[in-house]
Every structure is written in C-alpha cells, then in structure tokens.
C-alpha cells in the first residue's frame, strides 16, 4: 500500500494522525484540503511531502481557480523540508504545457521516490552492516519508514532491509515528542514487519548509547545543506551528540531530493515553529495528532490534558540542526558520503 498516490483524479493518503489506532485513507480533491492535511501532519516526512506538493499542483491544474496562488500556498505549507517547495516548483514549471504534462511530472516525482527508497535501503543496509557490526542494535528517531515516503522509506527502509537479511539485532525507536512519530508510526511499521523493537523517551537515547546499549544511530533528514549540516526532527542533534560521545556511527539516510546545495549551512534554514499547544498538552484522541501551526495557544479540545501550569508559554521547534562534524555518513540512492573521512556533499 502506498502512503500517498494519485487515484482517479484525486490525492489519496494515509491519515497519519489516526495511527496507530486506525488505518484511514483520506481522499482529497482540493488544494485547500491538501494544504490542511500537510499542516496537521496527516501527510508528513520529507519524501512524502515532496510528492504531496507535486500532486497538489496537479490538483490545482485540473481545476478552475488561481493556480499561481495555489502553488504559493502549497510550497509554503511547511517551511523546513526542502522536498516540499522543490516538488511544487518542479511540477509548476510544467504548467504552461497543460494539466496532463503537470500530472506526468508529479507522477515522475512519485516514481523517483519509489525507486530511490529501494536503492537507499540496499546501500544503507550495506553501510550499517559494515559500520555497526554483526546484528547491530540501532536507534532511530522520528519516522522514516514507508509512511514518510511513498513506499519503503529512508533510514527505516535500510533497517528493514537489514532485518530481511537476518542481520539486525534490535531497534530502539525514540518516541519523538511532541507528536510521537517514533512511538506511534515507527513502532507501528516495525511491529507490522515483525522487527524486535522497544520505544524509549527521547532523552534516554544518549544515556543508552553511553551505557553501551546502542551500536549505531540511523535516521533521516528534511534538508541536507551544502556543507553537510543535517536538518531533521527535533531531538536529532541530541542523539548525534550522544553518538559522538559514545563513539558509535551516526548515519543519515535520505534521497537526493533532500540534498539542498543552494543552502550553505544549517544557519540558513527556516526551522518550523509549531506553536505551544502541541507541547503543553497530551492525551490527544488518536485522530488528533498534529495541530495547525497557527494554533498557538493552550490546547482546549476535550481530549487534551494540560501538562503545564496556567498561562505557561512553550517553544516548539519542529526540527534541529546537526553539524556535519557529528555525522559519520550520508546515504542517498546514488552515493555514500563518508563525512568522517572528509568527503563532502
């Protein structure tokens, strides 16, 4: 099953806010619906966002209305993953040729991500086997599986490939506060694949590495800068520091569509701030993970339990920057970049 696809003139996608409780497919027929789905993380993860943006332009091209405005709204729906704006712009460049050409370009992006996932899984598994020893115990963060792509995934795709080779020890899935992509989505994917795994709170990662319980860290990226800095889900930097201190490999697996040579380094990247509500509440109904970014106040919905004192503020950067010096290697579908040996993006 594909996480996102074009089906009979509409965008269909798995609603990731409902997992692991319910596996629901949303059918979206307007750009408004798609932008809302992107902003509340019904669809998420860099490769999937690139495909969502691309298919969004196809939706706009097949309907009456202001296509240029639709393109702008899609490309700015979330700011950090380069795949989204890149996918939107690449497809929008075909608008003068008509709706069929636009759809063909969007489907090409989808198909490229599908092919990239298979290649990354293979290259990534090879590298993890080489760097992390026999049957490694791997820590991963956020969700980088099929749900973050169209099929297969990036870092989790490599982990699953190791499992298929019967060469994986076990996985520690870092829970990924505040929206729990690790505890909800990665756990769901690993469970379905029969991979032995446990969930750990984000703060436990560096300690478990220090205690010798992790042989390597493998995770994805939302943007890889020209100098090799890696932008990924908040908590990634702490895991990189932990891995560095523990002397274990820190491997990033991401498609070339996430590599951004136009961004010099991590200081140049807009980090999405998702507002206070996600941090200051917990216990959402399963379908309610992901707030619109403009919801910046205390959550008041009936399932939310306030976790802070009245009137407290919060800061909620959705991503962080891991300096390239902390990255052992970056794996894409085409190459393995050994930053630890001085190779550069």
The site for ligand MRU (CB under 6 A) is made up of: 41, 44-47, 81, 142, 144, 148-149, 153-154, 181, 219-222, 232-233, 318
Dist. CA 159–CA 214, nearest whole Å: 14
Choosing from 222, 229, 260, 320, the catalytic residue is 222
Going from the C-alpha of 16 to that of each of 246, 258, 286, the distances in angstroms are 34, 21, 10
Report, in Å, the least distance between residue 8 CB and ligand MRU.
27
**Quick check: is 222 catalytic?**
yes
220 within 8 A of 255, measured Cβ to Cβ: no
Number of H-type helices and E-type strands within the chain: 9, 16
Which is nearer to ligand MRU, 38 or 280 (by Cβ)?
38
Report, in Å, the least distance between residue 19 CB and ligand MRU.
12
Contacts of 303 (CB under 8 A, 6+ apart): 283, 284, 285, 288
Report, in Å, the least distance between residue 310 CB and ligand MRU.
28
Report, in Å, the least distance between residue 303 CB and ligand MRU.
20
Which is nearer to ligand MRU, 144 or 281 (by Cβ)?
144
Dist. CA 221–CA 253, nearest whole Å: 7
Which is nearer to ligand MRU, 53 or 102 (by Cβ)?
53
Which is nearer to ligand MRU, 61 or 178 (by Cβ)?
178
Going from the C-alpha of 224 to that of each of 82, 90, 102, 168, 228, the distances in angstroms are 9, 19, 27, 27, 6
Work out the number of other CB atoms within 10 angstroms of the CB of residue 294.
9
Catalytic center residues = 222
């Amino acid at each position: 099953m594909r996480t996102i696809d074009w089906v009979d003139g509409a965008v269909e996608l798995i609603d990731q806010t409902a997992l692991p409780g319910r596996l629901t497919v949303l059918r979206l027929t307007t750009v408004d619906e798609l932008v809302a789905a992107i902003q509340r993380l019904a669809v998420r993860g860099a490769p999937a966002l690139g495909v969502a943006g691309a298919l969004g332009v196809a939706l706009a091209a097949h309907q009456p209305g202001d296509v240029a405005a639709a393109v702008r709204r899609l490309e700015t729906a979330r700011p950090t993953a380069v795949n989204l704006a890149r996918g939107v712009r690449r497809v929008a460049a075909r608008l003068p040729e008509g709706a069929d050409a636009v759809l063909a370009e969007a489907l090409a992006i989808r198909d490229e991500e599908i092919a990239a996932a298979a290649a990354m899984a293979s290259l990534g598994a090879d590298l993890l086997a080489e760097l992390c020893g026999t049957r490694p115990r791997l820590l991963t963060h956020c969700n980088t599986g099929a749900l973050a792509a169209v099929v297969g995934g990036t870092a989790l795709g490599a982990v699953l490939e190791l499992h298929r080779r019967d060469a994986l020890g076990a996985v520690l899935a870092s829970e990924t506060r505040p929206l729990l992509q690790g505890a909800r989505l990665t756990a769901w994917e690993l469970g379905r694949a029969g991979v032995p795994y446990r969930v750990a709170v984000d703060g436990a990662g560096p300690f478990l590495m220090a205690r010798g319980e992790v042989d390597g860290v493998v995770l994805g990226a939302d943007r890889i800068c020209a100098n090799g800095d890696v932008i990924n889900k908040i908590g990634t930097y702490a895991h990189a520091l932990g891995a560095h201190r523990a002397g274990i490999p820190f491997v990033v697996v991401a498609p070339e569509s996430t590599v951004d040579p136009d961004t010099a380094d991590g200081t140049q990247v807009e980090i999405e701030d998702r507002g206070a509500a996600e941090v200051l509440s917990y216990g959402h109904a399963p379908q309610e993970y992901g707030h619109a970014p403009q919801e910046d106040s205390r959550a008041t919905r009936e399932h939310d339990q306030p976790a802070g004192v009245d009137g407290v503020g919060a800061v909620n950067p959705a991503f962080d920057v891991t300096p390239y010096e902390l990255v052992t290697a970056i794996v894409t579908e085409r190459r393995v970049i050994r930053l630890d040996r001085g190779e550069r993006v």
